[in-house]
Structure 1
């Protein structure tokens, strides 16, 4: 591999969620593969692993939008982060004569659409990984949080502007529409990227009419942290487990309701805005809060099944793959991207999205010891036949970079 530089841009330089987690792990993997990696972010502190691995970091020490104590400054920063644009311009200007690529993993929480200008000015090829839908949808999810259902409206249409779909309030929704208008018509953010990296078939279907014209579309697998532990000793042991943010769109209430119908105890690892209401409405539920990654994997290994009841599209469904790696079957909503990780009736079950009785029926089916034992072995074997390792992620990413650099050379 000829030497090249990649500038990875993301809002947070520490693990604040799946987006930054993948960006950091990708940076570490690319560095180990021989690339020069510059990790550019608005919010620190930087993950200690980056410096230890020799990854160069540029972190601006800013607040993200929701963490900024000044709401006025947060509103300004979210629409146009002048400081980020200036710092990124300085970073990219130094690479003018190098084989280099800009790879954006996220901008909506701190960096803002302003990063488009320095990327365009640099003339460097640029890629975007679609961890969410903020390039096309004001609230990033194609989801109406007020109705708790997938939104069918055309983004930025009159109906979109006049519909309160945000998880907070209508003025915040309008602010997000203004931000996307600026991104589209001032920054031309989407058009900045010659290459778009998608994570699932569902993403490509949802974005069919929204992706920038002429952009090359690629599929790159997010890395999963897991070890091959072998088949479970007793796959019939354990309960039904939910892992993730406790919020309505993630289907936490739906799982608790379905578990109550069947008479099983729902187990939740995670926290979020509905934690208090969830505990009050379903006192039988076990709410364990957030756990370390190692503890989460151990809980998945011990669980009878993972329940992934998300009401919105999602983009990948990382926990579904993690559960399979542990030999744990997955019950998944058929309307979300995580269904692609589950072969219905083989490595888990699909249920009708948003339907509590359909989910309850799936839970009942997986109370059968013979069924769960067979599915556990099949889930483990299916995952480890083609594991989503960091090495695979890096190889797929480098293949995209090779095409980008070849086009740039031509």
Structure 2
């Protein structure tokens, strides 16, 4: 089997790229021929020594682009990426190749659609976020600070100023979404969709074509099993982007109400304001993966107060693997990992008082310890390891390729879908 992974970035800069690159390395270690096609460098130095073919276009993303107007045009329709991907796929053997799209919205754009369709190769898509169905990718109205329930590209969606930055950027994203649905026709083309949570599938299923086939493949969690901590549990911990949509202000206020100490690991637009308003909170900044896991093992609980859907928040699973209870918002996908009252608590989203109630409960050392043990035992009974991820992924690839074979020769499929 030859697996061609398509992603915006060729190095780890977040959860999407981490899953794509770690799965590429894992597949290659199993003897699978792997290629990675990406727009933005640098290239992860582990890829090529592992025998993975890397095609990186050396393009910009929004963080590196010096000319924002030029990048906006690239994000709407990246012609160079379309041409380069078409050349790459034309050289693939249709008898053994499957194309797995991980990301396109940050740099590659919907222009990958015509290249995928022209190749006639079987393809699938992992929905790390919601750009395939939502023009802003998150079903979240930033000015309102709440989940958006509008139908994508309906009149109410079009007139809504829901973008994190400005309505003109929302307008550019809507133009891109028209290209995605009407020109590239990606929702029809990517008829096999991997979801990473039950909530995610429930949200997107009504918005995708009726023939869409959904596959559940959990992301791998990179935590090594270690003994549970000795001694009493420590502080309540927040890990991630310190922002409104992640619920950071809710945690800070709840901790004050409960008389608990809030410890933040990460950075983001709300950090300075929260540090000024809540001087009792501890701001540690970013830590490497090992440092974060050490803090999790010492923590009383991880607090995950996100007020939007999320996909599959890895920090929740990492905390459980470390033997740390999790207090999670009841609207986000992280709740699926937490057994309410056993391995942590759910709380009413956006409500600091409700969160404070659970902080007070877990101030009891005995309860925090019992819940930590339950979290640890439950996670390690069926860990989300890289091997488990790759096993499931291999079965999905086989299903997708069998379905393509049943539809007839590649040439006929390409003509039929052109």
Q: TM-score, normalised by structure 1?
A: 0.97
C-alpha contact (below 8 Å) 2:233/2:368 kept by paired residues: no
- Superposition deviation, residue 212 in structure 1: 2.9
- Superposition deviation, residue 96 in structure 1: 4.0
Aligned-CA RMSD value: 1.0
Report the Cα distance in structure 2 between the residues aligned to 1:69 and 1:96, rounded to whole angstroms: 38
Question: Deviations for 1:303-360, whole angstroms, at most 9, x for unmatched residues?
Answer: 1100000000001111110001000000000110000000001111110111110000
C-alpha contact (below 8 Å) 2:233/2:369 kept by paired residues: no
| Bigger mean CA offset, 274-283 vs 382-391 | 274-283
Report the Cα distance in structure 1 between the residues aligned to 2:252 and 2:211, rounded to whole angstroms: 45
| Bigger mean CA offset, 381-390 vs 276-285 | 276-285
C-alpha contact (below 8 Å) 1:10/1:20 kept by paired residues: yes
Equivalent residue, structure 1, for 2:263: 267
* Alignment map for 1:384-399 (pairs within 5 Å): 384-399=380-395
Report the Cα distance in structure 2 between the residues aligned to 1:179 and 1:66, rounded to whole angstroms: 19
Equivalent residue, structure 2, for 1:86: 83
Question: Deviations for 1:284-308, whole angstroms, at most 9, x for unmatched residues?
Answer: 1111111111111111111110000
Counterpart check, 1:311 vs 2:335? no
- Superposition deviation, residue 178 in structure 1: 1.1
Runs of 4+ in 1 over 3 A off after TM superposition: none
- Superposition deviation, residue 237 in structure 1: 2.3
- Superposition deviation, residue 98 in structure 1: 4.0
- Superposition deviation, residue 179 in structure 1: 0.8
- Superposition deviation, residue 376 in structure 1: 0.7
C-alpha contact (below 8 Å) 1:19/1:105 kept by paired residues: yes
* Alignment map for 1:11-410 (pairs within 5 Å): 11-234=8-231, 236-410=232-406
- Superposition deviation, residue 369 in structure 1: 1.2
Report the Cα distance in structure 2 between the residues aligned to 1:288 and 1:202, rounded to whole angstroms: 31
Residues paired across the two proteins, number: 406
Structure 2 residue matching 1:42: 3-state secondary structure: strand
Report the Cα distance in structure 1 between the residues aligned to 2:155 and 2:46, rounded to whole angstroms: 46
C-alpha contact (below 8 Å) 1:246/1:252 kept by paired residues: yes
C-alpha contact (below 8 Å) 1:66/1:74 kept by paired residues: no
Report the Cα distance in structure 2 between the residues aligned to 1:152 and 1:408, rounded to whole angstroms: 35
Report the Cα distance in structure 1 between the residues aligned to 2:269 and 2:135, rounded to whole angstroms: 21
Q: Unaligned stretches of 5+ in structure 1? A: none
Report the Cα distance in structure 2 between the residues aligned to 1:74 and 1:213, rounded to whole angstroms: 34
